[in-house]
Amino acid sequence: MDLVPDTSKFDPVVLELGMLFANAGFELSLVGGPVRDLFLGRVSPDLDFTTNATPDEILAVAKKWADSHWEMGRDFGTIGFRKRNSAKEMLLIEVTTYRAEAYDPDSRKPVVAFGTSLVDDLQRRDFSVNAMALRLPAMELVDPFGGAKDLAAGLLRTPGTAENSFSDDPLRMMRAARFASQLGFTLHPDVLAAMKDMAGRISIISAERVREELVKLICGAHPRAGIDILVETGLAELVLPEIPALKLETDEHHRHKDVYQHSLQVLEQAATLETGPEGPVPGPNFVLRFAALMHDVGKPKTRRFEPGGAVSFRHHDLAGAKLTAKRMKALRFDNDSIKAVSRLVELHMRFYGYGESGWSDSAVRRYVTDAGPLLEHLHRLTRSDVTTRNQRKADRLSFAYDDLEQRIAVLAQQEELDAIRPDLDGAAIMALLGIKPGRVVGRAYNFLMEQRMEHGPLGPDRAQDVLRDWWTEQPESQPEAPQAPQATA
């Protein structure tokens, strides 16, 4: 199948910039991802250009034309611009001088050397599908490394040798897995072999850069393929070791399912339950997907073979939450993401048992309160965790969760479950008991919260009566015994 770039999707700003550089006597080409996306019929949100102009010359040509500019990438030959188009949309544009980079094998930072050739610049790029350019304003395709052919074949290949490419920038190995996830590409055998041989070089890459590639991989259209590549090549052992650890050795009696494959299936199923942008869990949703991938990482640590041949994983949810938080901290995730994902991992087993024993209204309230703003994520994670081939069991669990969600909806309508709090606030507690701020107020507040969970809304009058009864049993409510007078000599 031949692919043709759809240049009808060009914003006129692109050609306008090309004319500016041509009139100034310089070359300018659209390059990389935006060109690849033209073949795929997509519009890239950012526009990357390359030129034989130096950074100073780039500024001289386009500074007045643009609405604003920035020079943070000047040392790497990059000048950034913002330009509003006719539709009043602000476009982000980066123009970079031709480069011929070389990397110190022991350094995380590239050694930059400016070049004079477009083909040489394309050769130093990560993969052939990203090593295509459109010369402007002529719109001439430059594809010296067969990127269009590889794109049509869905193949990921490097312009030069894979060993040289990954030696230059080891993060490209993570990008290979990411592109497999985002675009459904397969890896050329040379790329796969080099990744296996050179996986250890990922250790010189900063945690932040690894994290960004991992997030893009998890949020891709085919995250399972990307994770499989990380595990197969050994990269996962270094950046996400909890996942290959899920490949528990299979016992001869097959007393437990393949936890690794189960986790990948849960990830896939969770992605199908995401909502549109206006829904409660808009996709692609990293928090939901990563929690799905990590939900069972506590199992290797907690696996026990019980008498009679059974296998147990007691408290793997709690162990998994700790492991998840530790890994995300190592990858420099923000605190909110760490708390959200690890909390979902901790809660993913809470539902089980509901279908057999049923829950009181109190238990339903606690489920909602413990999930807090993650309730809709937890609904989807719990449903995704059903991968049994036993259709009767799957239906039973689905019906049970339908029932739980219905009960949550009814209670929410009656009691405003999304904002459960005691019937009296701290100020009312202090006024009623005649006490000052301190630990006793916290104990009283927690007591009323327990009553709210167990019995639903009490109302202010009933809450006051219950609190008074509780207060009579507290040591702080008792008057201090008068001290005996001291004996005099």
Helix ranges (DSSP H) in 30-146 = 33-39, 55-62, 118-123
pLDDT at 489 over 50: no
Q: How confident is the model at residue 179 (pLDDT cuts 50, 70, 90)?
A: very high
3-state SS assignment for residue 275 = strand
**For the domain that residue 174 is a member of, what is the CATH number?**
1.10.110.30
pLDDT at 82 over 90: yes
Element (H, E) at 309: none
The Cβ of residue 412 has, within 10 Å, a number of other Cβ atoms equal to: 17
Q: Are residues 191 and 319 in the same domain?
A: no
Q: Which residue, among 339, 251, 331, has the nearest Cα to 291 in the 3D structure? A: 339
pLDDT at 347 over 80: yes
Q: Are residues 42 and 115 in the same domain?
A: yes
Helix ranges (DSSP H) in 299-386 = 299-302, 316-330, 335-347, 354-357, 361-371, 375-384
Cα separation, 22 vs 335, in Å, equals 48
Domain contains 195? yes
Which among 2-6, 293-297, 437-441 has the top mean pLDDT?
A: 293-297
Domain contains 482? no
Q: Are residues 320 and 440 in the same domain?
A: no
User: Which are the contacts of 378, defined by CB distance < 8 A and separation ≥ 6?
Assistant: 344, 347, 348, 350, 371
Condensed to tens digits (0 to 9), the pLDDT of residues 214-267 reads: 999 999 999 999 999 999 999 999 999 999 999 875 544 445 568 999 999 999
Instruction: Pick the last residue of a domain from 101, 129, 153.
Output: 153
Q: Which residue, among 130, 198, 210, has the nearest Cα to 174 in the 3D structure? A: 210
Task: Report the pLDDT value the prediction gives residue 251, as an integer from 0 to 100.
Answer: 46
Q: Are residues 289 and 394 in the same domain?
A: yes
Q: How confident is the model at residue 110 (pLDDT cuts 50, 70, 90)?
A: low
The tokens for 16 are 């306008």
Domain contains 91? yes
Instruction: Pick the last residue of a domain from 101, 121, 153.
Output: 153
Cα separation, 242 vs 225, in Å, equals 17
The arithmetic mean of pLDDT across residues 191-207, rounded, is: 97
Condensed to tens digits (0 to 9), the pLDDT of residues 30-77 reads: 999 999 998 888 877 789 999 999 999 999 999 999 999 999 889 889
The Cβ of residue 382 has, within 10 Å, a number of other Cβ atoms equal to: 24
Q: Are residues 336 and 229 in the same domain?
A: no
Q: Are residues 281 and 378 in the same domain?
A: yes
Phi, psi (deg, nearest 5) at residue 387: -125, 10
Number of domains in the chain: 4
Cα separation, 131 vs 121, in Å, equals 9
DSSP state of 185: P
Q: How confident is the model at residue 403 (pLDDT cuts 50, 70, 90)?
A: confident
SS3 content of the chain, % helix, strand, coil (to 5): 55, 10, 35
Cα separation, 108 vs 105, in Å, equals 8
Task: Report the pLDDT value the prediction gives residue 478, as an integer from 0 to 100.
Answer: 73
Domain contains 223? yes
Tell me if the bond preceding 475 is cis, omega within 30° of 0. no
Condensed to tens digits (0 to 9), the pLDDT of residues 310-334 reads: 888 889 999 999 999 999 999 999 9
The arithmetic mean of pLDDT across residues 196-205, rounded, is: 96
- Residue at 411: amino acid letter: L
Domain contains 454? yes
- Residue at 344: amino acid letter: L
Chain mean pLDDT for the chain: 88
Q: Are residues 300 and 442 in the same domain?
A: no
Task: Report the pLDDT value the prediction gives residue 103, as an integer from 0 to 100.
Answer: 59
How would you classify the pairing of strands 186-187 and 155-156?
parallel
Q: Are residues 117 and 222 in the same domain?
A: no
Q: What is the greatest pairwise CA distance in the chain? A: 112
Q: Are residues 125 and 2 in the same domain?
A: yes
Q: Are residues 122 and 162 in the same domain?
A: no
Condensed to tens digits (0 to 9), the pLDDT of residues 356-380 reads: 667 888 888 888 888 989 999 999 9
Of 339 and 407, which is predicted with more confidence? 339
Task: Report the pLDDT value the prediction gives residue 395, as an integer from 0 to 100.
Answer: 86
Cα separation, 436 vs 57, in Å, equals 70
Q: How confident is the model at residue 268 (pLDDT cuts 50, 70, 90)?
A: very high
What is the torsional sign of CA 257, 258, 261, 267?
positive
3-state SS assignment for residue 178 = helix
Domain containing 346: what range?
Answer: 268-419
Domain contains 248? no
Q: How confident is the model at residue 483 (pLDDT cuts 50, 70, 90)?
A: low
The arithmetic mean of pLDDT across residues 142-169, rounded, is: 95
**3-state SS of 451-476?**
HHHHHCCCCHHHHHHHHHHHHHCCHH
**For the domain that residue 31 is a member of, what is the CATH number?**
3.30.460.10
Report the Cα–Cα distance between both ends of the chain, in Å, rounded: 111
The tokens for 285 are 């949703």
Instruction: Pick the last residue of a domain from 223, 240, 257.
Output: 240
Q: Are residues 346 and 327 in the same domain?
A: yes
Q: Are residues 294 and 383 in the same domain?
A: yes
Q: How confident is the model at residue 444 (pLDDT cuts 50, 70, 90)?
A: confident
Of 389 and 483, which is predicted with more confidence? 389
- Residue at 482: amino acid letter: P
Domain contains 355? yes
Task: Report the pLDDT value the prediction gives residue 353, as an integer from 0 to 100.
Answer: 67
Domain contains 12? yes
Cα separation, 29 vs 135, in Å, equals 4
The Cβ of residue 433 has, within 10 Å, a number of other Cβ atoms equal to: 18
pLDDT at 172 over 90: yes
Phi, psi (deg, nearest 5) at residue 379: -50, -50
